[in-house]
Amino acid sequence: MATRPRPRRSVGLVLLAATALAGGCKADDKPSSRPAAVSREAVSSAALSGAASTAEALKSATPNPSASTDAQAATRSDPGAAPATTAPCKAVGKRGQLALATQSGTFVSHILRTRGDHLFLLISSQPNARFTLLRIMRDGSTKTALGHLPGVGSPDGLWLTPDGAYTTFKRDLWRFPLAGGDAVLLAQGFSRSIAIEDGHVYGIQCGKADKKEAKTGKTDALVRAAMGGDRLAVLAKITRRSKECDYRGLAVDGTDAVLTDWPGRRLLSVSLSDGTVRVAATGHAFPRDVVMGPQDIDFATSKGLYRIAKAAVRAAPISDIGAAPAMDLADESNGLYRPAKRASPATRLSGVGATPFMDLAGDQTHYWIFQGEPYEPTESIWRLPRSGGKATKVWTFANRGAEQGTGIDAIAVDEQCVYYLQYAKSGDYFTVFARAKPE
């Protein structure tokens, strides 16, 4: 029996734009050697401060920068102009799940995103020691492998622009051209998450160890590179709270950047104008992706999804190691929570979304949550209003056992449908399904 797909390490809250694409390689191509497109001359050194090479690589990779369409920006109130769509989702007007595409093999990770008429799926194959980026039409008419990236393990995320797909893996930043082709290495020394906003790429540069520094005194940096070719700029220095440089979530709204410090159990806010770093919340186990809305900031932890008002974050203390939390987030019962603006117990949003086998997607009005229950007879997809309210169970799936579960992984949404992939009982292939959103 196939083992249950590994739980996602990041939360995908995504509604992405489309672009006309062409080219690519066949989905069943044999593994290739390291892509010829990778040039170390186009890669910055590990010390990225002031390095022009990273910006030059970004410039050559993206000749026509546009507004951000990454997972964080896509859930803001104004994500930018929606792309033109011509092919409706296959499931619109129909009942039940409809198959869009199948893929043979067993993969250790799956990241699914939507953009206009297309779904983009980044999968990781251990036997072939590579990642593959697939493009699937939402009407189910075509499936194309756009390119490959050598590697063993799991990539950290997938961010889309009109002409590129970005991922990070082992602190390297890579770009797949959406016109087809293998991934190109753009920069080194980044932590897991990036953000793309108004023609810029934001990331965290991991500082090198210094013998004179205490184990909790290492310094990382929030950096920004213009995709049009400017030099890399250091926006802020961040005092690390632990030995690891591991920031699982990063979001930018034009005024501030917010990031989650996984080992430090912190949510940090950085002013883009003056580099002021504020400790917005502490004491949360394993904080992951973060999403900025018009008034609030949502971030995921191992205990569920939390919400903090932007006003409270901007009023948080300027502090480093050992600072008191900006608000009381001590209630860590299972579920999704909305912290109060002042120091008071968190207000519970829902009991859904707290187990390790949980995946999130978001549109403009709702969170869509796949709630895994390894030892229960069923697992479900729930819908939770982003404005608050009761979570509603939308679809339920039979559990096949503790090891395999329902075989479902990697949920995504667009304006018409909810998408997810599910492994067959045999475990040797998966299918990408679409379901029309209920009224």
pLDDT at residue 5 is higher than 70: no
Asked which of 204-218, 298-312, 337-351 is least confident by mean pLDDT, the reply is: 337-351
Name the residue among 72, 28, 54, 61 with its Cα closest to residue 183: 61
Percent residues over pLDDT 70 in the chain: 68
CA 273 vs CA 198, 202, 236, 280, 283: distances in Å: 15, 14, 10, 18, 27
394 occurs within a structural domain: yes
pLDDT at residue 429 is higher than 80: yes
pLDDT top residue among 364 and 83: 364
- Tokens 């892509």 -> residue: 35
Name the residue among 165, 110, 117 with its Cα closest to residue 142: 117
Asked which of 85-99, 268-282, 292-306, 369-383 is least confident by mean pLDDT, the reply is: 292-306
Residue 122 belongs to what domain range?
Answer: 40-436
What is the distance in angstroms between the CA of the first residue and the CA of the last residue of the chain? 37
What sign results for the dihedral spanned by CA atoms 65, 66, 68, 69? negative
pLDDT at residue 414 is higher than 90: yes
**Number of domains, the chain:** 1
CB atoms inside a 10 Å sphere around CB 332: 16
Length of the chain equals: 439
d(CA 31, CA 387): 46
pLDDT top residue among 244 and 6: 244
332 occurs within a structural domain: yes
What per-residue confidence (pLDDT) applies to 63? 33
6 occurs within a structural domain: no
4 occurs within a structural domain: no
17 occurs within a structural domain: no
22 occurs within a structural domain: no
Surface-to-core class of residue 307, CB atoms within 10 Å of its CB (0-12 exposed, 13-18 middle, 19+ buried):
buried
Cα-only R_g, the chain: 21
pLDDT top residue among 41 and 426: 426
pLDDT at residue 306 is higher than 70: yes
Strand order from edge to edge, sheet including 143-150: 109-115, 118-125, 130-137, 143-150
Mean pLDDT of 301-327: 60
Name the residue among 128, 142, 107 with its Cα closest to residue 423: 107
Name the residue among 374, 390, 394 with its Cα closest to residue 382: 394
**What is the SS3 assignment for 53?**
helix
Q: Strand pairing of 219-226 and 256-261? A: unpaired
d(CA 187, CA 113): 23
Tokens representing 185 are: 């290495």
pLDDT tens column, 74-107:
333 333 355 777 899 999 999 999 999 999 988 8
27 occurs within a structural domain: no
Name the residue among 107, 19, 85 with its Cα closest to residue 410: 107
191 occurs within a structural domain: yes
Tokens representing 60 are: 């050559």
d(CA 132, CA 27): 8
Tokens representing 52 are: 């022009």
pLDDT top residue among 269 and 218: 269
CB atoms inside a 10 Å sphere around CB 328: 15
pLDDT tens column, 17-34:
222 222 334 343 333 333
Q: Which residues contact 426 (CB under 8 A, 6 or more apart)?
A: 2
Host H or E run for residue 181: none
- The DSSP annotation for 390-409 comes to --EEEEEEE---TTTTT-EE
pLDDT at residue 357 is higher than 90: no
- Whichever domain contains 323, its CATH number is 2.130.10.10
